[in-house]
């Protein structure tokens, strides 16, 4: 009890405080929810755009060069600059934050999916052709399943980096957990709040990554023996 | 006036370049803190990466470091480090940026040594090279293309990330974008886009320059286009 009292008398600025977590659980949960939903939506949208792009780059070799070059250049553009380009048009809101993270996730997924598709051995492709598979059958029943590990790697990389990237959204006030970190910094450098936001970010990335890894195992049972 | 026109107007005002806190000063800050961060990253990552590669240990550690660093938000490091013994100001920003330079430098140094031809390594051992001589005179020269590739990735990433230093008032070109957002979109739209163009332009320019440097320091026989040409030739022979 005396500890309690002395704690109240001089709260100090600890790196972590359960008291803070308890007192602000609503704010913290809301930030986690915003962060997670932005990440999941971004990766889903990015995957829906990226996979057809990757297949197009795989089918039409002349498209592969431009697609890879464009994604390479876009990936070099700093995230803050991307916010700067998009915000004046889409405004300061969730739409801008979503667009930026979708663009980055898109690049990662496209590059890995193209690499995965290109790894399909030519013998396998020829065998499928010889069995009378058409272009679509070959894609859906041979090439995409074989490229699945590459695609999943891309999804995992995209998810983890998206979790980190969402925090840059504080520039327009839509940073999810970044909002928590930034507010803690501005609010007299409140360490417990900064640390809580950071730990939750890393934890969220870990959880989503493990979930995707688990999904990958279920989707590629034929790889189990190799492991 | 649409935002792009406003950006051109903003960039055309000489005072926006030469004023205190103008483009030139911010560019200087941006470059100096990026250079310090990359140098610090090289000092830490290269010796460790080369040594791990040489002893063929710690491959898992290299992967772990790059995976974990991917999940840590830059914003978190930028706000946490000033509150440690590093204190507010330049050193904490430089260290935060250096943390993100380490994974590509480390991974490429490690891979660079690991990919050295085992026959070259055996030959050197047979000639009586000590472990240190082997690293310095065989593995290190063969790893140069990888070191250059890692340097390019790290430097471009640091220059891009340095824009975020503006969140903690650390200076750099990102400060221009932040100031524009502070003015509200309608008034600062031009400045926001202008800042974005400067930051993105710097990153892309550096990428192009370092790609050139990477090519120059890669010995002819190790260049990718040569290798590809040789592989194609080998395939043609095997096929015909």
The CA-CA-CA angle for residues A133, A47, A162, to 5°, reads 150
Residues 6+ apart with CB under 8 A from A66: none
pLDDT by 10-residue block (mean), chain A, 227 residues? 48 79 87 92 94 91 86 86 87 88 91 90 89 89 89 91 90 87 84 90 92 88 67
pLDDT above 80 for B221: no
Q: Do residues B57 and A148 touch, judged by C-beta distance below 8 A?
A: no
The answer to whether B161 contacts A88, with C-beta atoms less than 8 Å apart, is no
- Substitution target in B71, B155, B172, B193 with the highest count of A β-carbons within 10 Å is B71
- Substitution target in A88, A156, A181 with the highest count of B β-carbons within 10 Å is A88
The answer to whether A88 contacts B164, with C-beta atoms less than 8 Å apart, is no
For residue B201, the model assigns a pLDDT of: 93
> Using CB atoms, which residue from B80, B83, B199 is nearest to A80?
B199
Tell me whether A86 touches chain B (CB under 8 Å): no
Q: Do residues B171 and B29 touch, judged by C-beta distance below 8 A?
A: yes
Give pLDDT tens digits for B171-219: 888 888 888 888 877 777 888 888 899 999 999 999 999 999 988 888 7
The answer to whether A78 contacts B199, with C-beta atoms less than 8 Å apart, is yes
Query: Looking at chain B, which residue has its C-alpha nearest residue A160?
Result: B71
The answer to whether B177 contacts A81, with C-beta atoms less than 8 Å apart, is yes
Report the percent of chain B where pLDDT is more than 90. 34
Give pLDDT tens digits for B136-159: 888 998 899 899 999 999 999 999
d(C-alpha A168, C-alpha A98), whole Å: 11
pLDDT above 50 for B239: no
User: Is residue A225 situated within a structural domain?
Assistant: no
User: Is residue A11 situated within a structural domain?
Assistant: no
What Cα–Cα distance (Å) separates residue B195 from each residue in A85, A174, A221, B26, B41? Answer: 9, 20, 49, 10, 27
User: Is residue A20 situated within a structural domain?
Assistant: no
Choose among B139, B62, B161, B65: nearest CA to B108.
B62
Where do the structural domains in chain B lie, given as residue ranges? 3-239
Give pLDDT tens digits for B118-142: 898 889 989 999 888 988 888 998 8
pTM score over 0.80: yes
For residue B238, the model assigns a pLDDT of: 46
For residue A226, the model assigns a pLDDT of: 53
* Helix segments in chain A, DSSP class H: 2-9, 18-23, 25-59, 61-76, 79-90, 94-118, 122-130, 135-138, 144-166, 177-186, 191-219
Give pLDDT tens digits for A136-153: 888 888 899 899 988 998
User: Is residue A19 situated within a structural domain?
Assistant: no
Average pLDDT (B102-106) is 93
Q: What is the CA radius of gyration of chain B?
A: 22
Tell me whether A42 touches chain B (CB under 8 Å): no
Tell me whether A85 touches chain B (CB under 8 Å): yes
Tell me whether A205 touches chain B (CB under 8 Å): yes
Residues 6+ apart with CB under 8 A from B1: B9, B190
Question: Measured between CA atoms, how close is A220 to chain B, in angstroms?
Answer: 22
For residue B226, the model assigns a pLDDT of: 53
The answer to whether B79 contacts A194, with C-beta atoms less than 8 Å apart, is yes
Domain tally, chain A:
1
Question: Measured between CA atoms, how close is A210 to chain B, in angstroms?
Answer: 13
Query: Looking at chain A, which residue has its C-alpha nearest residue B152?
Result: A76
The answer to whether B80 contacts A171, with C-beta atoms less than 8 Å apart, is no
> Using CB atoms, which residue from B67, B73, B163 is nearest to A81?
B163
Question: Measured between CA atoms, how close is A23 to chain B, in angstroms?
Answer: 22
Which option is the CATH number for B3-239: 3.90.1150.10, 1.20.1050.90, 3.40.50.2300, 1.10.3720.10? Answer: 1.10.3720.10
Report the percent of chain B where pLDDT is more than 70. 92
Chain B hits for A168, Cβ within 8 Å: 73-75, 164
Q: How many residues does chain A have?
A: 227
pLDDT above 90 for B98: yes
d(C-alpha B179, C-alpha B171), whole Å: 11
Q: What is the mean pLDDT of chain B?
A: 85
Chain B hits for A179, Cβ within 8 Å: none
Average pLDDT (B12-23) is 83
> Using CB atoms, which residue from B79, B164, B203 is nearest to A181?
B79
d(C-alpha B65, C-alpha B103), whole Å: 6
pLDDT above 90 for B117: no
User: Is residue A184 situated within a structural domain?
Assistant: yes
Query: Looking at chain A, which residue has its C-alpha nearest residue B202?
Result: A77
Domain span at residue A62 reads 35-217
CATH for A207: 1.10.3720.10
What Cα–Cα distance (Å) separates residue A75 from each residue in A103, A111, A166, B75? Answer: 9, 11, 16, 19
């Amino acid at each position: 009890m005396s500890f309690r009292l002395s704690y109240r008398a001089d709260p100090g600025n600890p790196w972590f405080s359960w008291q803070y977590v308890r007192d602000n659980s609503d704010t913290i949960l809301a930030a986690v929810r915003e962060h997670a939903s932005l990440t999941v939506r971004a990766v889903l949208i990015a995957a829906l755009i990226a996979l057809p792009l990757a297949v197009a780059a795989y089918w039409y070799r002349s498209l592969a060069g431009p697609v890879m070059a464009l994604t390479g250049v876009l990936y070099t553009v700093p995230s803050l600059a991307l916010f700067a380009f998009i915000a004046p048009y889409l405004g300061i809101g969730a739409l801008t934050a979503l667009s930026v993270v979708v663009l980055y996730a898109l690049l990662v997924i496209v590059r890995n999916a193209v690499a995965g598709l290109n790894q399909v051995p030519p013998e396998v492709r020829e065998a499928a052709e010889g069995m009378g598979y058409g272009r679509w059958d070959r894609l859906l029943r041979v090439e995409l399943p074989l490229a699945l590990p590459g695609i999943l790697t891309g999804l995992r990389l995209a998810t983890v980096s998206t979790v980190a990237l969402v925090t840059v959204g504080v520039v327009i006030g839509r940073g999810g957990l970044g909002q928590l970190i930034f507010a803690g910094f501005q609010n007299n450098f409140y360490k417990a709040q900064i640390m809580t936001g950071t730990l939750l970010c890393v934890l969220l990335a870990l959880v989503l990554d493990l979930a995707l890894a688990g999904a990958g195992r279920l989707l590629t049972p034929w790889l189990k023996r190799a492991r | 006036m649409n935002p792009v026109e406003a950006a051109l107007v903003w960039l055309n005002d000489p005072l926006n370049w030469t004023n205190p806190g103008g483009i030139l000063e911010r560019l200087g800050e941006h470059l100096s803190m990026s250079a310090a961060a990359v140098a610090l990253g090289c000092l830490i990552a290269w010796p460790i990466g080369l040594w791990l590669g040489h002893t063929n240990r710690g491959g898992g550690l290299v992967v772990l470091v790059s995976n974990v660093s991917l999940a840590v938000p830059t914003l978190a490091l930028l706000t946490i480090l000033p509150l440690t013994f590093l204190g507010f100001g330049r050193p904490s920003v430089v260290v935060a940026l250096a943390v993100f330079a380490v994974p590509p430098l480390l991974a490429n140094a490690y891979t660079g040594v690991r990919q050295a031809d085992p026959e070259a390594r055996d030959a050197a051992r047979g000639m009586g090279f000590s472990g240190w001589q082997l690293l310095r005179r065989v593995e290190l020269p063969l790893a140069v293309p990888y070191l250059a590739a890692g340097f390019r990735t790290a430097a471009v990433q640091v220059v891009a990330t340095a824009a975020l230093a503006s969140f903690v008032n650390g200076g750099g070109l990102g400060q221009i974008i932040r100031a524009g957002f502070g003015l509200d979109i309608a008034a600062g739209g031009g400045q926001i886009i202008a800042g974005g163009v400067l930051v993105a332009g710097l990153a892309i320019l550096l990428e192009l320059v370092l790609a050139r440097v990477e090519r120059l320091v890669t010995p002819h026989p190790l260049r990718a286009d040569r290798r590809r040409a040789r592989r194609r030739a080998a395939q043609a022979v095997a096929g015909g």
